[in-house]
Structure 1
Amino acid sequence: MDKQLKFPENFWWGSAWSAEQAEGRGTTGKAETIWERWFKEEPNRFYQGISSAVTDDHLHRFKEDVALMVATGHNSFRTSISWARMFPDGGTGEVNPQAIVFYRALFSEMKSNGIQVFANLYHFDMPAKLQDIGGWESREVVAAYVHFADTCFKEFGDLVEHWFTFNEPLGPILGGYLEDFHYPNLIDFKRGAQAAFFTILAHAKAIEAFKRHQLSSKIGVILNLSPTYPRSKNEADVKAAEIADLFYTRSFLDPMVKGVFPSKLVQLLEQYDQMPLDFQPADLDCIKNNVAQILGLNYYEPRRVKARLTAINEAGPFLPDWFFEHHIMPGRRMNEYRGWEIYPKGILDLCLDIKNNYGNIEAFISENGMGVADEERFMNQVGQIEDTYRIDYIKDHLAYVWRAIEAGCNLKGYHLWTFIDCWSWINAYKNRYGLVSLDLTTQKRTIKQSGIFYKKMSAANGFEYNMENLN
């Protein structure tokens, strides 16, 4: 049975990307980031040897890109402000006037076209010089980040509707300290715990600084969250899921939204001697008193786990995997290109968790999307990508967002990843996510079928959906 799903008035329709993935280096002055450093050291680890030097050249094409935002139905858009561009000496010192000119021009162009500016302050792009003094393991870097954030509030506060301290802060901890997909490529949980703690402290201190500006906007954080499902109701599977959830969901969600750390996680880290070494009572007070005012939810796939069936080598590094194994559910629907399960109902379960356990904080879906390789296969005779699979993916997930709103979840919008096909960490342009395709040779942008659909959906504030697809 088809039903017209209508969303609340003033619902945020938009998408998201980041500075390092879209702007290009340009000539406005920019410090080296950890991604540029890593590419110099190990270009072989980057897909097809493509760096972030050019990406979408958004730095020089932003007016064209804002026009494409309008053409694809955006009333809001999240980008990030490059710390390395704002402070080209490496993250501190004097602010770069050219960066201020660029971001004010971009944000003004967006606002004049009816597009709300959602500005994120950190999206994985640590200035390399700050990584050299410890990165997120360093209090000095925390202070430098707060100075950067405070500068942004001062320079762009009149143009930004919503601020975000971090995008997916769990990512650099997993990649940089546990799983080897982020610079500095360490395997050391205890150092990762320290970096995680100082990231959370930086979030709180940035919010503390934000409050002093008395802006009309709000500030929050963007977290990548997946509901955790045990393989079965067996007690061992349920316990495994609880521990996985502590590491991957509650570790950042609780302190950044509630202001406190999960006691069970703290007890576990104490038991295994994995607590950070540097934390003070004043830090905990700051975290408690400065929590997110709005929450972005990045959802791509569920997390499915089971009790471990094999022994751990305790002489090896401590990892969350000591307590569970990942479960491959028979019959799961997959995005074969990315290797992720497609489970739209997970977005409902995630939103209900936020409603029931986190005070129903104002929230929105800040990322959700489908990356597909070799999309040129689906190009028609006029050069447009016919990505009906992406349209179906968006509708299936939004139907559960609609159901979450009907259930009382305080959801204000939906942002797709991403706007124009952009450079992805290590994977470059292997998988395409955009509403708009990008020709890497000519930089030509062409709206995909999904972009046409997105415009119609935004204009109607909803879409028609076969409700039999919901379970």
Structure 2
Amino acid sequence: MSVPSRRQPLHHATPPADAEAPLGLRFPDDFVWGAATSAYQIEGATKEDGRGESVWDTFSHTPGRIKGGDTGDVAADHYHRYADDLDLMRDLGLHSYRFSIAWPRVQADGAGAPNQRGLDFYRRLVAGLLDRGIAPMATLFHWDLPQALQDAGGWESRDTALRFAEYADAVFAALGDDVPVWLTINEPKTVVQNGYLEGHHAPGRQDPDAAHLVAHHLQLAHGMAVQALRARGGPGRIGPAFNLHPCYPADGSAAAAAATTLYDGYENRFYLDSVFTGRYPADVLDDLGPDSRLVRGIRDGDLDIISTPVDLLAVQYYTPIYVTADGGTVTRWPTSQADWQQIYPDGLYDILTRVTRDYGPMPISITENGLPTPDPLGADDTVDDAGRVAFLRDHIAAAHRAIADGVPLESFHVWSLMDNFEWAEGYDQRWGLIHVDYPTQRRILKRSAHWYRRVIADNAV
């Protein structure tokens, strides 16, 4: 999921009393409803069946890095409980399940022959989805880089993109005929910003010059994975998964407008332009300067690889950004339990219509949208997360408005299917439709899960 820079909140949102009031908005008959997770956040079993160590294993075991000293060692124990979790997805009526494949479970050290026990887990998962009438949507990389590759330079090394292409090809060979939609790199921007600028995600660096070279190699890895699937001639569609945050001037000044344009270049256009136009934004390159590691690291043909045609764009939306004249940010809307997240459903409409307007009417899937709420377990064994219901209803309504205005939106996936390891926040924040009682691993459907099941059944909010 997305974790932009941390910002000070103004106030928290209060859910309306009528959170479940229907809006009378019906979706196209072929619209796809789903939910999303990622491997390190739910699987656990970090030392089983040949899985290697990832950067998040290392990072979470480093004292002081994760709230409460939490790790993903067990998480939601999905590796052992996946069949029961698949039954819950079926009972919710999900059409699609977006999950990620753990690179170190497939290649312990990030290279060489694939680990068959790791691939077999994902074969069982995909088969179980298909048996239940749920379409698999597989993400190749959701931040869990094999630690051996990090030790060899990580995403600062061009070689990591080459290793990723080999890993992607091994996964395509094993699962390609059964997975209709592939996503390459999940939120490269978050790896760049949180892993290499702010340092509160793995690998915990604060090195701006390295960060932007990392961004290029992540984009290069994306393009190489697209080419690997094309070379195999498989039936699946493929695209990137970008967390896109609409950027607005904080005031009416020319300086704020100029700062917003550049901020948007780093936040959105760097990733969108390179994939869809074969260029990095000139204003961003000029801002970095000709001696930056990014500019020096771009080789002839790289942008041709990065802009290999894709079949769809996965959009993940969490928050707008308001930019001041000096390039800082301010908060304009109520925030969720995550202090960086401003609740502004119109931002989803704005980013969907902007992408369609600027890059053409490509198929779009919303692959993450959600928020954390306190979610206490009631005495009657229920979780009344009215705030999540209201948030999802209003964002789904914004998506409906975008469709009405010409956006070719195919699907909506809630983040997240279940409570999980929330990166630097550990288990302190709960983002799921399904409550996980971590000591017992018992699953409990929240109010939002029951509501979402009705949305799916009615194909409407």
**Matching residue of 1:439:** 437
Q: Which residue of 1 aligns with 2:39?
A: 19
Letter of the 1:328 partner, please give it.
Answer: T
Give the whole-Å Cα distance in 2 for the aligned partners of 1:51 and 1:327. Answer: 32
- SS in structure 1 at match of 2:133: coil
Q: Match of 2:225, as an amino acid?
A: A
**Count, aligned residues:** 440
SS at match of 1:163: strand
TM-score, normalised to structure 2, is 0.92
The whole-number CA distance in structure 1 between the counterparts of 2:205 and 2:433 is: 35
Q: For 1:211, give the aligned amino acid.
A: R
Aligned match of 1:172 in 172, 176, 191?
191
Given candidates 425, 428, 444, the residue that maps to 2:426 is 428
The residue type equivalent to 1:62 in the other structure is Y
In structure 1, the residue matched to 2:317 is: 299
Which of 272, 279, 282 is matched with 1:260 structurally? Answer: 279
Listed as ranges, the matches of 1:7-406 within 5 Å are 7-24=27-44, 25=46, 27-40=48-61, 42-88=62-108, 90-270=109-289, 273=292, 275-288=294-307, 290-308=308-326, 324-329=327-332, 332-373=333-374, 375-376=375-376, 379-406=377-404
Q: Partner amino acid for 2:67?
A: Y
Is the Cα–Cα contact under 8 Å of residues 37 and 100 in structure 2 kept in the other structure?
yes
Unaligned 5+ runs, structure 1 = 309-323, 464-471
How far off its partner does 1:291 sit? 3.5
One-letter amino acid matched to 2:354: D
Contact 2:382 2:447 in 1 (8 A): yes
Pair 1:108–1:188, CA change in 2 (3 A): same
How far apart are the structure 2 equivalents of 1:388 and 1:195?
Answer: 39
Task: Tell me which residue corresponds to 2:16.
Answer: none
How far has the Cα of 1:456 moved from its partner? 0.8
> In the aligned structure 2, how far is the partner of 1:112 from the partner of 1:338?
40
- Distance apart, 1:161 and its partner CA: 1.2
Q: Is the 8 A contact 2:213 2:293 kept in 1?
A: no
List per-residue Cα deviations over 1:71-127 (Å, max 9, x = no partner): 222110110111000012x11112111112110110000011111100000001011
Give the Cα separation in 1 of the matches to 2:446 and 2:23: 25
* Aligned equivalent of 1:466: none
Structure 2 distance, partners of 1:370, 1:399, is 16
Q: Shift of the alpha carbon at 1:139?
A: 2.0
Q: Distance in 2 between matches of 1:176 and 1:452?
A: 36
Name 1:468's counterpart in structure 2.
none
Do the aligned residues in 1 keep the contact of 2:285 with 2:295 (CA within 8 Å)?
Answer: no
How far did residue 336 of structure 1 move?
4.0
CA contact (8 A) 1:338 1:372 kept: no
Whole-Å Cα distance in 1 between the matches of residues 56 and 337 of structure 2? Answer: 26
- Aligned identity (percent) is 33
- Which letter maps to 2:143? F
CA distance in 2, matches of 1:271, 1:99: 43
Q: 1:457 aligns with which of 448, 455, 458?
A: 455
2:267 and 2:362 map into 1 onto residues whose CA distance is 20
Q: CA deviation at 1:276?
A: 3.6
Q: For residues 401 and 205 of structure 1, what CA distance do their matches in structure 2 show?
A: 31
Q: Secondary structure in 2 aligned to 1:335?
A: coil
Do the aligned partners of residues 185 and 26 (structure 1) sit closer, same or farther apart at CA in structure 2, a change above 3 Å counting?
closer
- SS class of match (2:411): strand
Task: Show the counterpart of 2:15.
Answer: none
Q: Displacement, 1:154? A: 0.7
Check the 8 A contact 1:418/1:433 in 2, yes or no.
Answer: yes
Alpha-carbon distance change, 145 to 386 in structure 1, aligned in 2, over 3 angstroms: same
| CA shift for structure 1 position 39 | 2.7
Query: Structure 1 pair 145/275, CA: closer, same or farther in 2 (3 Å)?
Result: closer
Distance 1:202 1:271, change over 3 A: closer
Which string of whole-angstrom CA distances, capped at 9 and with x for unpartnered residues, describes residues 113-171 of structure 1?
A: 11110000000101111001111111221111100000111100111110011110011
For 1:353, give the aligned amino acid. Answer: R
**Match of 1:81, as an amino acid?**
I
C-alpha distance after superposition, 1:392-421 (max 9, x if no partner) = 111011111000000000101111110010
Q: Mind listing any 5+ residue stretches in structure 2 that lack a counterpart?
A: 1-20
1:94, 1:274 → 2: CA distance?
A: 32
SS in 2 for 1:192: helix
Q: What letter corresponds to residue 401 of structure 1 in structure 2? A: A
TM-superposed CA distance for 1:2, in Å, is 6.4
1:273 is displaced (CA, Å) by: 4.3
What's the C-alpha RMSD, in Å, of the aligned pairs? Answer: 1.5
TM-score normalised by the chain length of structure 1? 0.90
Structure 1 letter corresponding to 2:321: R
Please list the CA deviations of residues 353-385 of structure 1 after superposition, one character each: whole Å capped at 9, or x if unmatched.
Answer: 011001121101111101023x21xx3343010
Task: Tell me: CA distance 1:384–1:232, structure 2 relative to 1, closer, same or farther (3 Å).
Answer: same
CA contact (8 A) 1:33 1:125 kept: yes
In structure 2, the CA distance between the partners of 1:11 and 1:52, relative to structure 1 (3 Å rule), is same
SS where residue 296 of structure 2 aligns?
coil
Task: Tell me the alpha carbon deviations over residues 165-199 of structure 1, each in whole angstroms, 9 at most, x when there is no partner.
Answer: 11100111112221111233222222112111111
